[in-house]
Amino acid sequence: MDFGGVTVDPDEPVFRARWEAAVMAAALALLSAAPARGWNQTLSSFRYARERIDPVDYLGSPYYERWLTTVATIAVESGVVRREELEKRAGGPFPLARPLRVHGLENPGSGVSRFAVGDRVRVWQRHPLGHTRCPGYLRGHVGTVLRSHGASSLPDVEVHSRLRVQEAVYTVRFDAGEVWGDGQTGVCLHADLWDSYLETP
Amino acid sequence: MTTDHHHGTPPAPVERRAVALEELLVEQGLISHEDIDAVQQEYETQLGPMHGARVVARAWVDPSYRERLLANGTRAVHELGIEGPEIEHLVVVANSPEVHHVVVCTLCSCYPWGVLGLPPNWYKDPPYRARVVREPRVLLAEMGCPLEESVEIQVWDSSADCRYLVLPERPAGTDGLSEEALAGLVTRDSMVGVEVL
């Protein structure tokens, strides 16, 4: 897919209107209220809600409009507001992200740290329907572990259950010419990948 | 649109939807109008690339600070009293005549808010996110940052908890400048890696 050129607005304000700040503030408020109210909503849940937005809308709407859909989806799924109320107040349809379709864990995680700096690793070839932070463009490709970070909660589990699986995250280096198969040289790509996304080649 | 039960009916205007959500969250006691004003004020005035620029200028004039910054970005920016969000795992990567670094979040829009503020729209939009990993040399040239073929490009995709900041090279001819004057030369784009100073 050719996305075309990058459009830069040198005079872009932080927020173009107050409602954009309101959306940001609402996201922060829902995140901070979640533990006390017993909602399983973390930053990963917001990312997953955004991934459930219709792809045409995702690609076609401005950033804060995507965020509005995301935050409203989280608010409705947490039970704090009802969609009908939102639509009544807004005076028309209020699009939300698509409903959760994945129940259960597609990737229960390794929960461990299996690799060390310098190891060659292959990114797994799985394509979950639910949330993951394993970038699609790296799947199946082999890279080298550059750094090993501490354990961190695996988003694939966090979003889809109340469990938390802590596993190591590694910075892995890939050769862009190998990833894209186009012979480009002198370009390294790095991504930070959870242990369970990787296997020994 | 996104909804599955409103085929053909356009959504309410985005601002009216945002106000509807705000009112309902206020009525539920989750947020106040003052909270929103405070968030707006904070993100418009307290956060921004001026913090990153201070970090870069310090690293240019103080080699031991530069070393600490590259070893542990979070600790080194805290040393300067910079404490904002999204820099809990800050990794600083240094440009050299041989290597140029550039930062992206292909999966969403992760960005080191505490040192750069909120990201610009181009950073969050699909063209940059897709193309900076696919054809970085071409894209950087298009964005006004042409690099010699001999310069290696290192792309950092912020896919987990680390946030990345590029330490640009100090421009030639700036030997006599104060640290403050140097900070004034450092741009946001140079710290994302889409500009060379």
Q: Are residues B129 and B68 in the same domain?
A: yes
Nearest to A85 by CA among B24, B3, B30, B32: B24
Q: Could you give the CA distance from residue A168 to residue A177 in angstroms, rounded to a whole number?
A: 27
Report pLDDT for A57.
87
Report pLDDT for B6.
55
Measured between beta carbons, which residues in chain A are less than 8 angstroms from residue B14?
19, 64-65, 68
Q: Does the pLDDT value for residue B3 go beyond 60?
A: no
Q: Are residues B1 and B67 in the same domain?
A: no
Across chain A, mean pLDDT equals 95
Measured between beta carbons, which residues in chain B are less than 8 angstroms from residue A79?
none
Q: Are residues B95 and B37 in the same domain?
A: no
Q: For B23-82, write each residue's pLDDT tens digit.
A: 999 999 999 999 999 999 999 999 999 999 999 999 999 999 999 999 999 999 999 999
Specify whether the CB–CB gap between A70 and A49 falls below 8 A: yes
Q: Could you tell me if residue B162 is inside a domain? A: yes
In B, minimum Cα distance to A53 occurs at: B2
| Owner of token pair 């970070």 | A149
Q: For B122-145, write each residue's pLDDT tens digit.
A: 999 999 999 999 999 999 999 999
- Torsions phi, psi of B100, nearest 5? -120, 130
Q: Could you give the CA distance from residue A171 to residue A162 in angstroms, rounded to a whole number?
A: 27
DSSP for A138-189 reads GTT-EEEEEEEEEEEE-HHHHTTSS---EEEEEEEEEEHHHHHTS---SEEE
Global pTM exceeds 0.90: yes
In A, minimum Cα distance to B31 occurs at: A29
Q: Which residue has the higher pLDDT, B81 or A112?
A: B81
- Rg of chain B over Cα atoms, rounded to whole angstroms, equals 20
pLDDT above 90 coverage of chain B, percent: 95
Domain ranges within chain A, ordered by starting residue: 18-90, 120-199
**Pick the catalytic residue: B32, B108, B159, B178?**
B108
Q: Does B141 touch chain A (CB under 8 A)?
A: no
Is position B145 annotated as part of the catalytic site? no
Q: Are residues B152 and B104 in the same domain?
A: yes
Q: Could you tell me if residue B76 is inside a domain? A: yes
**Pick the catalytic residue: B110, B145, B158, B190?**
B110
Q: Which residue has the higher pLDDT, A78 or B1?
A: A78
- Residues 6 or more apart whose CB falls under 8 angstroms from that of B10 comprise A92, A93, B1
- CATH H-level, domain A18-90: superfamily: Nitrile hydratase, beta subunit (1.10.472.20)
Is position B109 annotated as part of the catalytic site? yes
Domain count along chain B? 2
Report pLDDT for A169.
97
Of A94, A133, A187, the CB nearest to B107: A133
Choose from A60-64, A119-123, B8-12 the range with maximum mean pLDDT: A119-123
Which residues on neighbouring strands pair with residue A170, listed in sequence order?
Answer: A148, A193
Q: Does the pLDDT value for residue A103 go beyond 90?
A: no
Task: Report helix, strand or coil for B153.
Answer: strand
Confidence of residue B8 (pLDDT cuts 50, 70, 90): confident
Q: Does the pLDDT value for residue B4 go beyond 80?
A: no
- Residue A173 CB neighbours (<10 A): 15
Q: Are residues B42 and B113 in the same domain?
A: no
Burial of A190 (0-12, 13-18, 19+ CB in 10 A): buried
Q: Does the pLDDT value for residue A76 go beyond 90?
A: yes
Domain range enclosing B23: 1-46
| Owner of token pair 């939300």 | A96
- Residues 6 or more apart whose CB falls under 8 angstroms from that of B34 comprise none
Confidence of residue B5 (pLDDT cuts 50, 70, 90): low
Q: Are residues B30 and B93 in the same domain?
A: no
Query: Distance (Å) from the C-alpha of residue B64 to the closest C-alpha of chain A?
Result: 22
A 74-113 → B contacts, CB under 8 A? 75, 80-81, 85-87, 89-98
Is position B108 annotated as part of the catalytic site? yes
Assigned CATH class of A120-199: mainly beta
Task: Please give the ipTM for the structure prediction.
Answer: 0.96
The stretch A27-41 carries a mean pLDDT of 95
Q: Could you tell me if residue B8 is inside a domain? A: yes
Of A19, A25, A193, the CB nearest to B15: A19
A 128-147 → B contacts, CB under 8 A? 133-135, 137
Q: Are residues B78 and B160 in the same domain?
A: yes
Q: Could you tell me if residue B74 is inside a domain? A: yes
Q: Could you give the CA distance from residue B136 to residue A135 in angstroms, rounded to a whole number?
A: 17
Confidence of residue B7 (pLDDT cuts 50, 70, 90): low
Q: Could you tell me if residue B144 is inside a domain? A: yes
**Pick the catalytic residue: B105, B145, B158, B190?**
B105
Task: Report helix, strand or coil for A198.
Answer: strand
The stretch A28-50 carries a mean pLDDT of 95
Is position B162 annotated as part of the catalytic site? no
- Residue A18 CB neighbours (<10 A): 16
Q: For A163-176, write each residue's pLDDT tens digit.
A: 999 999 999 999 99
Q: Are residues B26 and B15 in the same domain?
A: yes
- Residue A114 CB neighbours (<10 A): 15
Q: Does the pLDDT value for residue B88 go beyond 60?
A: yes
Q: Could you tell me if residue B197 is inside a domain? A: no
Measured between beta carbons, which residues in chain B are less than 8 angstroms from residue A29?
25, 30-31, 35
**Poorest-pLDDT segment among B3-12, B18-27, B51-60, B182-191:** B3-12
Task: Report helix, strand or coil for A100.
Answer: coil
Measured between beta carbons, which residues in chain B are less than 8 angstroms from residue A80?
24-25, 28, 30
